[in-house]
Amino acid sequence: MKFKSRNFEGAETVLDIKDLSVNLPNQETVAPILDRISLNIRAGETACLVGESGSGKSVTSLAVMGLLPKGALEVTGGKITLEDRELLGLSHNELRHMRARRMAMIFQEPMTALNPVMRVGDQIDEVLQIHADMSASERKARVLDIMEQVHLPDVKRIYGSYPHQLSGGQRQRIMIAMALVLQPKLLIADEPTTALDVTTQAQILRLIAELQEKQGTAVLFITHDMGVVSEIADTVHVMKEGQIVEQAPVEKLLREPREDYTQKLLKAVPSLIPRKVRPPKSDDQVLQVQGMKKIYGGGGIFVKKEGTLAAQDVSFSIARGRTLGIVGESGSGKSTVARCVMRLIDPTEGEVRVDGNEIARLSRRQLRPYRRFIQIVFQDPFRSLNPRWKVGESLIEGPLNYGISRAEAMKQAGDLMELVGLPRDVLDRYPHQFSGGQRQRIAIARAVAMKPDVLVADEAVSALDVSIQAQVLDLLGDIQDKLGVAILFITHDLRVAAQICDDIVVMQNGLIVEYNSASEVLANPQHEYTRALTEAAPGREWDFANFCELKKTA
């Protein structure tokens, strides 16, 4: 694997942070949010700030931009120097003039970071209106020019479009255009590709690198994805609980991580090498899907409307105790399939057999006895548990519906807590008292409480930090060993799929393009789209957990 190894000695320092501390106002007693961090970035350099959620990455970036939420966080010490100007202590107005001209920022969610009721061209134009003394026609030409530079197609049309009319990748291009139109010295990118599909992510990373080269921008890139780090970083700063615990050039950090914490982070990165092949334990196919099709919308009272085809010709089956992954990008139809299988929505055509019982055509009432056999874990553990219910109540609701006594259900719920690695007494607490990883454990326990034959996990680890992700994946594996449940695992992340799946279905535009064992799909992809997906996976030549190049085993 080739890392960036440019020498920045002699390059001018663009951003210099010295002993920066940030704290909650009037709370000297609690641990600071940022604890005397120092880092500097030179012209043309890409510095990656990595760490788990809550480590202070975003607070650092917002402190530089002067955008810390007023009243909630305040800088309590240190210096931030941009080129020759000390930023702390600048007036609100002086700081405002620095933004977009000297320093600019792009954010994680291109879906929400653009104003939904303004045309995107006008949103870029606004930067010029505020900061540049240009006529309307000059500005328009400049906006179209930067839109060309970020490789947007048909810029004249897109100029007049609203954000919701563009794809995620296009919106992020608009954000980048907005950030770089005045050629700032510093670009802060806060997880700019996390919400994007891998292929789009690869394009956006290339684009940032290209513009950085052209303009000589210093880039502070915040990410939790070590794959991305290995592709783009010159220097890496590892953050933990408000401190920078390790700083090193990228290759040094990945080969010889010094700190335990860094090693732990790297070891948690799921490997792209598929899991060892497990011989099937039984031929008992607990979930069979045949020729499933789903069209959204359509119908209409006065006029017959054309629906949206979300999935077509979907067929697969899972044996008891096995894990099947459905991999695909957003809009590929993978979640639609999960929801149809669960009968959360009704498939338009096709069969779904759970334990041999056809459920696709049953009415809601007829379906009730079968609900128990198939349970789901959702992506966002912060929203999938009722915040007003104690954990215990959430856990026993299902069993109570199936006639188990309250005392018995509570006892089982306690056992389940132990199964997922939480103490029994958490049953009396509310969801907000738990971290994301713990909540996902609870969500899994809730699904398992019904003793299902099939567990559907819809992006169940995507919202978690890598180290937590690894633990939850282990937990799913354990539960499968103990209970023999079949898992339908929906994910966009090939690394995660490689860790847990026996077989993989690759979906694109509602169709299955490849369906084979995990080792075949990952090592020997047949379809062009699968190949594109694997190639776009960042850092695919590096074995993060072992700090060395990935050895070709096949």
Residues that bind other proteins (CB under 8 A): 65, 67, 71, 96-101, 104-105, 107, 109, 112-118, 126-127, 130-131, 162, 164, 175, 178-179, 302-303
CB of 109 to other proteins, least distance (A): 6
CA distances from 318 to 108, 189, 321 (A): 36, 41, 8
CB of 298 to other proteins, least distance (A): 17
CA distance 377 to 145: 46
DSSP state of 163: G
Cβ atoms < 10 Å from Cβ of 526: 13
Q: Residue 145: which of 237, 211, 89 has the closest Cα?
A: 211
**121 within 8 A of 143, measured Cβ to Cβ:** yes
Q: Angle at the Cα of 290 (from 284 to 291), degrees rounded to 5?
A: 170
Q: Residue 536: which of 78, 222, 206, 179 has the closest Cα?
A: 206
| Minimum CB distance to other proteins smaller for 194 or for 509 | 194
CB of 435 to other proteins, least distance (A): 22
CB of 82 to other proteins, least distance (A): 14
| Minimum CB distance to other proteins smaller for 121 or for 392 | 121
| Minimum CB distance to other proteins smaller for 93 or for 553 | 93
First-to-last C-alpha distance (Å) of the chain: 18
Residues 6+ away with beta carbon under 8 Å from 407? none
Q: Tokens representing 138? A: 């000059």
Place of tokens 């379809």: 527
| Minimum CB distance to other proteins smaller for 101 or for 372 | 101
| Minimum CB distance to other proteins smaller for 167 or for 315 | 167
DSSP state of 112: H
| Minimum CB distance to other proteins smaller for 143 or for 178 | 178
> Containing H/E element for 125?
helix 120-131
| Minimum CB distance to other proteins smaller for 128 or for 494 | 128
| Minimum CB distance to other proteins smaller for 87 or for 250 | 87
**246 within 8 A of 264, measured Cβ to Cβ:** no
CB of 95 to other proteins, least distance (A): 9
Sequence-ordered strand ranges (E) for 161-267: 186-190, 218-223, 235-240, 243-249
What is the chain's length?
A: 554
CB of 99 to other proteins, least distance (A): 4
CB of 114 to other proteins, least distance (A): 6
- Over the range 99-117, which residues count as b (16 or more CB within 10 Å of their CB) and which as e? bbbbbbbbbbbbeebbeee
Instruction: Output phi, psi for 455, to 5 deg.
Output: -115, 125
| Minimum CB distance to other proteins smaller for 184 or for 325 | 184
CB of 129 to other proteins, least distance (A): 9
CB of 184 to other proteins, least distance (A): 10
Q: Residue 453: which of 365, 353, 363 has the closest Cα?
A: 353
CB of 236 to other proteins, least distance (A): 24
CA distance 270 to 272: 7
CB of 33 to other proteins, least distance (A): 18
Place of tokens 């695909």: 328
| Minimum CB distance to other proteins smaller for 105 or for 226 | 105
**453 within 8 A of 407, measured Cβ to Cβ:** no
| Minimum CB distance to other proteins smaller for 131 or for 275 | 131
